Amino acid sequence: MHWPTVDPLGAALYFLRMSGLFYTRSELGAPWGLGLPALPDTLMFHVVTEGQCWLEVEGAEPMLLQPDTFTLVPHGQGHRLASEPGELAAPLFELPRLQVSERYEILRHGGGGMATAMVCGAVRFEHPAARQLVALLPRVICTNPASGPPQEWLQSTLRFLAAEAGELRPGGETIITRLADILVVQAIRSWITADPGAQRGWLGALQDRQLGPALAAIHRDPAHGWSVASLAQEALMSRSAFAARFTELVGEPVMQYVTRWRMYLALQWLEDERATQSEVALRLGYQSEAAFSRAFKRLIGERPGVARRRSVHRLGGVYG
């Protein structure tokens, strides 16, 4: 495989397929404040469609949010939204909300002052590539589409979302959630392009002319019998030079990365797809369940059967 024919970073972004936990359209009148609780393993986003508000996240400067901006809080960290900095914040989930559907609700809150309208949501990525990428993101990402002509389509998308939120027509919930998904991925992509921090470590390796194809090959075909030599061939490098460069950029030896990647996939299949231990071992190319079980326990800290039983218990009420 030659490097110009593959887009390793694009392949990683492909894994940013998300499941939405909830989406809220808020109609707010000053003075008002909302306290959003920590939601582990989620990304929370905010789009102001009318008026303005302040975002306060611990460890970051207060940020003024206005229309035509898309703001992402990637690490599920609790934060505050308010008409003014320091405004008393009511816990979001303790306020009455109109439940439009299982995942979409409308919130009306505040006094009779200046109006602010927003669309907010929480989404979760399930794939290991997505989780690894999200872990590298800063506390807050704010995308301003007015920064140049290449962002005109993003500005149009935000306005389309605002129009749908302002008058929820038949199918509007679906349109809003799909647009929000696109905007989350675009915000992450914009950060990768613009921030020097995205050029180092695992993300830097994905964008590396030589290591990128090797990483993409591992992600694409984790069951293949990879070796240092075969992955060096994907990178068009000598075995020793490839091994040293991989460890330097990614932070661990290449075969350790291969095993860890396989076990993260196995955990996902066991927990989310309720696959059996034998099915997962076969999908990952292991010759025996015992070999797979040993590798899984060494990396994850428990046997595959334990992870699967926990998932069956957790999902029993949904599927049972």
Q: Summarize pLDDT for 102-113 with one digit per residue, the tens.
A: 888 899 999 989
What is the band of 192 on the pLDDT scale with cuts at 50, 70, 90? Answer: confident
18-36 as b/e: b if 16+ CB within 10 A: bebebbbbbbbbbebbbbb
pLDDT of residue 114: 95
Q: Tell me: the pLDDT tens digits for 4-44?
A: 345 667 766 666 666 777 888 899 999 999 999 999 888 99
**pTM for the structure as a whole:** 0.73
CATH number attached to the domain at 208-319: 1.10.10.60
Q: Tell me: the pLDDT tens digits for 279-291?
A: 999 999 998 999 9
Reduce the secondary structure of 142-166 to three states and give it as a string.
Answer: EECHHHCHHHHHHHHHHHHHHHHHH
The rounded distance, in Å, linking the Cα atoms of 50 and 45 is 16
Residues of the chain within CATH 2.60.120.10 domain(s) are 8-195
Q: At 73, which amino acid appears?
A: V
Q: Tell me: the pLDDT tens digits for 248-301?
A: 988 899 999 999 889 888 888 887 777 888 999 999 999 899 999 999 888 888
Residues of the chain within CATH 1.10.10.60 domain(s) are 208-319
Class of domain 8-195: mainly beta
What is the band of 146 on the pLDDT scale with cuts at 50, 70, 90? Answer: low
Two structure tokens written together for 320: 């049972």
